Chain A
Amino acid sequence: MVDHLDFRNGAVSTETPVSIEEFLGASNATAVRIEPGEDARALLPHLDRLALVEVSFPVFGDGRGYSSARILREAGYQGELRASGDVLVDQLFAMRRSGFDSFAPNAPLDPAVVKASLERYADVYQKTVDGRRPVWAKRHEVA
């Protein structure tokens, strides 16, 4: 069982993220944590100095963090994007597709189940920020 998942080849931050309020204040932190009700777009002017954005999932059913993640990636954020909290194995696939590349789940995950659930779907229907070519692109040989 593992309590952290990293899809960044070890390039993960060890800094403790600060709140978005603190970050946008006088802080020189390079790691920030955003809660479900907070606006990820407030971070867009500061992406260059960010090494870690931790998106909090207090309960797995609150899906606002998926939008936060995509918004950051769509704006070109290249740093670590971590989902933390009530992160369950069955949510990992959608989280990866939304741009998350590290995970700090409350409850440890079984790596074998993680692998199986991430590899289950050979193809995807939507173009998101993960670089995967959707089915329509393959059908019509477009990028």
Chain B
Amino acid sequence: MYRYDNYDQAMVDARVEEFRDQARRRLAGEMTEDQFKPLRLMNGLYLQLHAYMLRVAIPYGTLSGPQMRMLGQIARKYDKGYGHFTTRQNIQYNWIKLEDAADILADLASVEMHAIQTSGNCIRNISSDQYAGVAADEVTDPRPWAELLRQWSSFHPEFSYLPRKFKIAVIASAQDRAAMRLHDIGLELVKKDGVIGAKVFAGGGMGRTPMVAPEIRDFVTEDEIIAYVEACLRVYNRYGRRDNKYKARIKILVHELGVEEYRRQVEEEFAHMKTLGIDPPVAELDRIRSYFADPAYESGLSEEVNRSDPDFALWLDRNVVAHKQPGYAIANISLKPVGGIPGDATAEQIELMADLAERYSLDELRVTHAQNIVLPYVRKADLYALWKELDEAGLGAANLDRISDIIACPGLDYCSLANARSIPVAQKIATRFAGNGKEAAIGEMKLKISGCINACGHHHAGHIGILGVDRKGTENYQLLLGGSGAEDCSLGQITGPGFDENGIVDAVERVTDLYLAQRSEGERFLDTYRRLGMAPFKEAIYG
């Protein structure tokens, strides 16, 4: 994986000192909260219901064992012993003191990490495919481009005060594991006539006005990607709406201008950008690429896995996926134990995952946008020993992409924007389906819960989505069906009137019961919904 050189290290070290000075000026009363807010936000520090929340960047979701260990140490030392992995492949801590924030950033810098631009109206952490580099179906490893974009976007002088936040995803497979088309810009690396370049999508997003990003260019060669993205951003920075923060994302601009007109303006700006020499030389991409070269895989490894322990066999079938290299496997660690808080891990669990990565996965881990952890380089022969250790630590849940593998935002338990709690709903659904034994029969199911219309829990993209709203002072939950963040990207539709907390759990069960009764051979829930349409589901829920 990528390692900082002296330039990168100096950059994050300087940032720590800059923030230390800003926090000092704020604590000394030399700055108002209004003036401090955008500065702390650009360092990932939010003021939440109970305390400050610090969001730490995990660029494209890749991190090393020592980095993971540091995340555990921070949870223990500065938080109440927890970390929360997010849908942006980041981690956040919910119980931070402003006085400690600069020290935490210094600890992060010591392991080549930072919290730069994890909030604020700027270019956020670049996200990517959690199986990058190990997936059998990828054109190339997308992370060198993600790292190139990370550096380019860090402290970008023109784009630090955009109309709104800006999220970029880079993938390199036809299979989309990163919800690429629900990003402000999505790049899909493709090969054309033997040359690698990017297909560009712009104007996707969730929130209160969800949109699937349209394609705006079918190919940009790798040596012009920065110029093209910079052109996309400049048009947005100049013409994105600033009169209403709910209409300020690029999706609204693309929608209001129309794809054709947005594309035309970008092309005009791109033609100009190309004359400025702002793209790094390909040698820089090659330098970064060298860090992502395949590890020294062992050859002649056994393909055999002993399935005699039925609990292990279940985990193997659900959480382990094919690796491009013979003898190896990709192991997913679910952070969704039944009754737990989706994405949460204790300091001890984080440190254990770091140790397991060191012993079983070439010291590397990934964070997924579904709030799980991946060990990308596990020898098949080690899978059983790995699972034993995970299981003992409460990390052995065998539910990847099942109904209890729920994405949920922190909701009203933590977030000052939320209208309703998300976590208890996730817990009740997981508990219900663990008790009724239907999870296995249902198969692939992506259930996503947001506690408000901002959609941090990706409810629009859930096969089943749940949106918490405030209805005359009580929490109410709307149900959506038919969303997908994958390559078959679509937005869920609301079924009808909402439910209370227990009612929404019942409604989910009625929906899945109908699916189980109506599905054809091999159909996922999503396929059955698409075939049958909303009507029979509505009938099952409200009829």
Contacts and interface: CB of A to CB of B under 8 A. Distances in A.
B158 A120 contact: no
A48 interface: no
A11 interface: no
Contacts of B385: none
Interface in A65-104: 66-67, 70, 74, 88, 90-91, 93-95, 97-98
Given A90-B39, A135-B151, A139-B5, A62 B242 contact: yes
Nearest to A138: B7
Given A62-B161, A139-B287, A124 B155 contact: yes
A93 to B, nearest CB: 7
Counting chain A residues whose Cβ lies within 8 A of the other chain, the interface size class is 35 or more
Contacts of A42: none
Given A60-B38, A74-B276, A88-B35, A126 B157 contact: yes
A137 B155 CA distance: 17
A36 B276 CA distance: 24
A93 B284 contact: no
Contact of A67 (B234, B242, B283): B234
Contact of B11 (A90, A98, A125): A125
A90 to B, nearest CB: 6
B101 interface: no
A140 B284 contact: yes
B346 interface: no
Nearest to B280: A136
Contacts of B388: none
A26 B133 CA distance: 62
Interface in B124-176: 151-152, 154-163
Interface string B373-398: 00000000000000000000000000
A97 B157 contact: yes
Given A74-B276, A139-B287, A142-B281, A66 B155 contact: no
Contacts of B472: none
Given A88-B35, A94-B160, A123-B11, A67 B278 contact: no
A125 B15 CA distance: 14
Interface in B227-268: 234, 237-238, 242
Interface stretch (B16-24, B211-219, B526-534): B16-24
A66 B161 contact: yes
Q: Specify which of A66, A74, A120 lies most central, judged by the most chain B CB atoms within 10 Å of its CB.
A: A66
B10 interface: yes
A96 to B, nearest CB: 8
A117 interface: yes
Contacts of A117: 18
A88 B35 CA distance: 8
Interface string B193-227: 00000000000000000000000000000000000
A66 B237 contact: yes
Contacts of A124: 155
Contacts of A140: 280-281, 283-284, 287
Contact of A139 (B7, B38, B39): B7
Contact of B155 (A88, A94, A116, A139): A94
B158 A128 contact: yes
A108 interface: no
Contacts of A98: 157-158
B41 to A, nearest CB: 10
A71 B22 CA distance: 30
A93 B21 CA distance: 15
A32 B287 CA distance: 45
A61 B121 contact: yes
B29 interface: no
B471 interface: no
B159 A125 contact: no
Contacts of B17: 120
A57 to B, nearest CB: 9
Given A90-B22, A127-B276, A121 B281 contact: no
A63 B234 contact: no
Interface in A8-64: 36, 60-64
B122 to A, nearest CB: 9
A122 interface: yes
A125 B284 contact: no
Given A122-B10, A127-B277, A64 B238 contact: yes
A93 B157 contact: yes
Interface in B269-310: 272, 276-278, 280-281, 283-284, 287
A63 B284 contact: no
Contact of A125 (B151, B162, B277): B151
13 contacts: A64-B237, A64-B238, A66-B160, A74-B272, A88-B35, A98-B157, A123-B7, A126-B152, A127-B277, A127-B278, A135-B7, A139-B7, A140-B280
